[in-house]
Amino acid sequence: MSETPEATWLTQEAYDRLASELEYLLTVARQDIAKKIQEAREEGDLKENGGYHAAKEEQGKIEARAARLENILANAVVGEARESNGVVEQGTVIKLTMNGSEMEFLLGSAEIAEGSDIEVYSPDSPIGTAIMGAKVGDTVSFFAPNGKEREIKILEVKNFLG
């Protein structure tokens, strides 16, 4: 049994930007790296060919990024953010206190915040999982990766405007 991936909320602008990047990777970048690999192969011995190994590594990065973008776009929910109604969900900006410190971040995919300087937390992260569905005024706790229990109070939930 395979798990169905969680949908990723994206603005139309973010979706278009990611789709353009994917198109570039699948056409231009793939062709360029294939050409570099072929040129490096023609130089001879591959064991000691730094250009060949660098090109193969770059090819791996291109393919990994393309696969990630394909997954995001295939599972994307595109549109304007719904009114938050004070409930924590993907695509909202959360202001909270944790251990006496106030912090604010976007809960969602890093790709939707590209070009913005807001910090992003994944809904699948420990903090994201703990606060998903919480309301303004709620206090929740979770275990940080270091094993320590953290308490969070939700102060504000608002739409991400990009």
Q: What is the pLDDT of residues 13-49, one digit of tens each?
A: 888 888 999 999 999 999 999 999 888 888 877 777 8
Whether the Cβ atoms of residue 108 and residue 90 lie closer than 8 Å to each other: yes
**Stretch (H or E) spanning 103:** strand 101-107
Question: Residue 69 and residue 21: Cα distance in Å, rounded?
Answer: 8
For residue 83, what pLDDT band results from cuts at 50, 70 and 90?
low
Question: Residue 101 and residue 94: Cα distance in Å, rounded?
Answer: 14
138 Cβ neighbours under 8 A, 6+ residues apart: 153, 154
Per-residue H/E/C for 61-93: HHHHHHHHHHHHHHCEEECCCCCCCCECCCCEE
Sheet of 101-107, strand order: 120-121, 101-107, 92-98, 149-159, 139-143
Determine the 3-state secondary structure of 115 from DSSP. Answer: coil
Say if pTM beats, i.e. exceeds, 0.85: no
Counting every residue, how long is the chain? 162
Structure tokens of 5? 């991936």
* Neighbouring C-alpha atoms within 13 Å toward the C-beta of 11: 15
* Ordered structural domains, the chain, with CATH: 8-78 (1.10.287.180), 92-159 (3.10.50.30)
For residue 162, what pLDDT band results from cuts at 50, 70 and 90?
low
- pLDDT tens-digit readout, 115-141: 678 888 988 889 999 999 999 999 999
